A and B are shown apart, each in its own frame.
Chain A
């Protein structure tokens, strides 16, 4: 065995028998307000290769969009068609990317993080060690949901940011022509893109709350993620069946497309407010469901 091996081989290193010096024991003051746990969660989420790769995939859509549109300009379609307006203002690359990714990619990204939140820790066994530290179960769920919400906002902002950067580089900025026909200046236009992005980020976070709940039911994070994606797709399908129109406004995804209402003059707040209330409702109900499920669950994993 070489000297280098000796230095790293644990068997070669005897355990130390120094006395613990930090007595007396009961002098460990409680920190009532601390963001350490949340920051640790965010480091876990954003430091993980898989999640970084996921964010990379999310960025591909605006890039592809911007490049393909420079190659061939699409014909105008119908509805809130941001795609047709891309060449007039680069900001529309961000909006088009959001409307493409909101059906699957962004919900999948949020679903992955939410599915992992409890089930991932249970799966590798770290959950029991967190609880033994101790971390109160309510605090655990609160921090996990805060981290999901932050991830959701960051992922959505990331798509917008890449879209805006690519769009401005290839098509330039300037006055923005609204869906309602009028025009606004570049500054207000950027502000509206940011508001639309935050709106969608909050919508995805409510899906994340559903994911958090499902994550307390299983020890298989992938299963929880798949369940979130299925619910998301199911919601879009139900939303497209006219016979179920009575149900539509209650579906978690129904108001997501309302983010386009930020680009009317004036902003059409009705749908957006309904969207935010729906998101808040889903978030509250499913966070409480997660709490009811998890607060006295036996942790055997």
Chain B
């Protein structure tokens, strides 16, 4: 295994400048082999542009990247057959059936064996639950079914890397859950999965790694536990004497203490949470509610960017 082979995706200074703006700004994306990498960021943060560059659809302004250890786009003929991708939503011929659309995709793949096309197409349709609707025209498909068909398209051949751009767009909660399971099962098979999403909570549950994009920059990336460790758990005390509670918390060594009406919040640090309530009661501060909250990815994002998870212009 040569150096760089441990990453399914490795970019160095990857940049895409469109005439007016820098869509992707010198990012060093590292997706370890075997990981499920959640590529997060609001709409317009540069995720899709990055994915388009990874697949060789658009040319980087500067920087370079490797997929499965091989330099792109030079080796795309060898690498891309091992990469299944869903880019910026499903796209198929509307007047063909789902099955005919997958056969079309398979027929342009020079690595595909025509003798097994039928079995592979049916297998892929079955895996996304579309086999019963296989002979419907794509035109008649709902958005959720189209999304599933696009996922089926990535499963026509065995893959080492799956690049899924917003795979749950347009899916109902049940479909979203199913896609999460599918991603999990693909990872179990040994594939690396790069999944982009603007819905943080959706991705949180399946990912081993995350990277956060904001206005074209990759703010942070790494194993999900490490990224989360940046922001520590916080204690939240509900009381009608917030000022006194804050004094007690400060004395206990909590930091970043914030007082709102009836609520005091502080960062726990190394402190064991049990001690807090005892100390408060001991000091005679009435406690009406107490909780320790692990910050959500959304909170993390706000702490990284100083702003909400909104569309960046």
Contact = CB atoms under 8 A, between A and B. Distances in A.
Contacts of A124: 91-94
- By secondary structure, the A interface counts as loop
B188 interface: yes
B148 interface: yes
A133 B185 contact: no
Contact of B181 (A17, A32, A135): A17
B128 to A, nearest CB: 6
Interface in A249-300: 296, 298-300
A15 B108 contact: no
A78 interface: no
B77 interface: yes
B80 A133 contact: yes
Given A13-B132, A14-B178, A132 B55 contact: yes
A126 interface: yes
Given A15-B181, A125-B88, A299-B58, A22 B81 contact: no
B58 A133 contact: no
A26, A30, A132 pick with most chain B CB within 10 angstroms: A132
Contact of B158 (A23, A30, A128, A129): A23
B159 interface: yes
B76 interface: yes
B202 interface: no
Interface string A116-150: 00000000111011111111100000000000000
Contacts of B179: 15
Interface string B52-75: 100111110000000000000000
B130 interface: yes
Interface residues of A, number: 46
B185 A8 contact: no
B281 interface: no
Interface stretch (A37-45, A57-65, A186-194, A240-248): A37-45
A132 B57 contact: yes
Interface in A1-25: 7-8, 10-11, 13-20, 22-23, 25
B110 interface: yes
A28 interface: yes
A14 B129 contact: yes
Contacts of A36: 107-108, 114
Contacts of B104: 40, 44
Given A8-B132, A299-B57, A19 B185 contact: yes
Nearest to A143: B108
A39 B92 contact: no
Contacts of B105: 129-130, 133
A15 B178 contact: yes
B33 to A, nearest CB: 12
Contacts of B55: 128, 131-132
B127 interface: yes
Nearest to A39: B107
Contact of B80 (A8, A40, A134): A134
A48 B77 CA distance: 30
Given A8-B133, A124-B93, 19 more contacts: A10-B130, A10-B145, A14-B129, A15-B179, A19-B188, A28-B113, A36-B107, A40-B108, A44-B93, A124-B91, A125-B90, A126-B92, A128-B52, A129-B87, A129-B91, A132-B57, A134-B76, A134-B77, A134-B80
15 contacts: A8-B133, A10-B144, A10-B148, A15-B127, A15-B128, A16-B129, A37-B107, A128-B52, A128-B55, A128-B57, A129-B85, A130-B108, A132-B83, A133-B80, A133-B109
Interface of B: 52, 55-59, 76-77, 80-83, 85, 87-96, 103-105, 107-114, 126-133, 144-145, 148, 153, 157-160, 172, 174-175, 178-179, 181-182, 185-186, 188-191
Interface of A: 7-8, 10-11, 13-20, 22-23, 25-26, 28-32, 34, 36-37, 39-40, 44, 47-49, 124-126, 128-136, 296, 298-300
